[in-house]
Amino acid sequence: MKPVLYGYWRSGAAYRLRIALNLKGVEYDQVAINLKTGEQKSDAWLAMQPQGLVPVLKYGDAMLMQSPAILEWIEESWPQPALLPSDPLERCRVRGWAAIIGCDTHPVQNLRILKAVGDDLGQGPAGMKAWAHRWTRDGLAALETLVAAHPRSTPFLHGDAPGMTEIYLLPQLVNARRWEVDLSAFPTLMAAEAACLDLPAFQRATPENQPDAE
């Protein structure tokens, strides 16, 4: 049974799922939900996802929501190659690193939050950019500090292959560049990104390589 990914080419959360499915070697179909035109606010989409968000992963009759939960389901459903370490303490460490992006960096600067800052709170484009810079720098700085202090023998952030932290990191770096954040202070993260982008699974997942890319 082939999963169906409902997403948007620029959605960081959908990007995460593409990376994970590609790393696992899972074939999937895609259905684009155009956030730019407001398709996520349509009655049809709200009937599927009452928050009006992407992604959703359809698997048989199941409609799976929220990328952290879906990533855990993917890991449990297709255990190899593993995205998390086998040791429980190291697994917790990697989940914590991923959560710096997934819980504290990405959510406060996704599209609906930035629109609220720019429009509802009257801060305009300059305010939106300042908000994105603030939370991106804070999150990446914390992650850089933690992973740089952890022993590694490869450019990847934990172990000899990319895992859950990279799955969260790469979409956030795309977003950072979109907002023109200076990334020179994060050499460990940049090295991990470069190593990931040498791999076909990551190349196929990039936003510009999606069918709905503009």
- What is the chain's mean pLDDT, rounded? 96
Q: How confident is the model at residue 112 (pLDDT cuts 50, 70, 90)?
A: confident
Q: Give per-residue pLDDT as tens, 145-156.
A: 999 999 999 999
Does the pLDDT of residue 212 top 90, yes or no? yes
Does the pLDDT of residue 72 top 90, yes or no? yes
At residue 121, the pLDDT reads 87
Interaxial angle between packed helices 12-24 and 164-178, expressed in degrees from 0 to 180 and rounded to the nearest 10: 140
Instruction: Give the mean pLDDT of 137-152.
Output: 97
Q: Measure CA of the first residue to CA of the last residue in the chain; give whole Å.
A: 29
Does the pLDDT of residue 60 top 90, yes or no? yes
Q: How confident is the model at residue 209 (pLDDT cuts 50, 70, 90)?
A: very high
Does the pLDDT of residue 114 top 90, yes or no? no
At residue 111, the pLDDT reads 81
Contact of 60 with 36, CB cutoff 8 Å: no
Which residues are CB-neighbours of 137 under 8 A, at least 6 positions away? 181
Instruction: Give the mean pLDDT of 10-35.
Output: 98
At residue 69, the pLDDT reads 98
**170: alpha, beta or left, given left = phi > 0 and alpha = psi -120 to 50?**
alpha
Q: How confident is the model at residue 109 (pLDDT cuts 50, 70, 90)?
A: confident
At residue 162, the pLDDT reads 98
Q: How confident is the model at residue 37 (pLDDT cuts 50, 70, 90)?
A: very high
What SS3 state is found at 49? Answer: coil
Contact of 54 with 110, CB cutoff 8 Å: no
Instruction: Give the mean pLDDT of 15-41.
Output: 97
Choice between 117 and 204, residue whose per-residue pLDDT is larger: 204
- What is the β-pairing status of strands 4-7 and 29-32? parallel
Does the pLDDT of residue 96 top 90, yes or no? yes
**38: alpha, beta or left, given left = phi > 0 and alpha = psi -120 to 50?**
left
At residue 115, the pLDDT reads 86
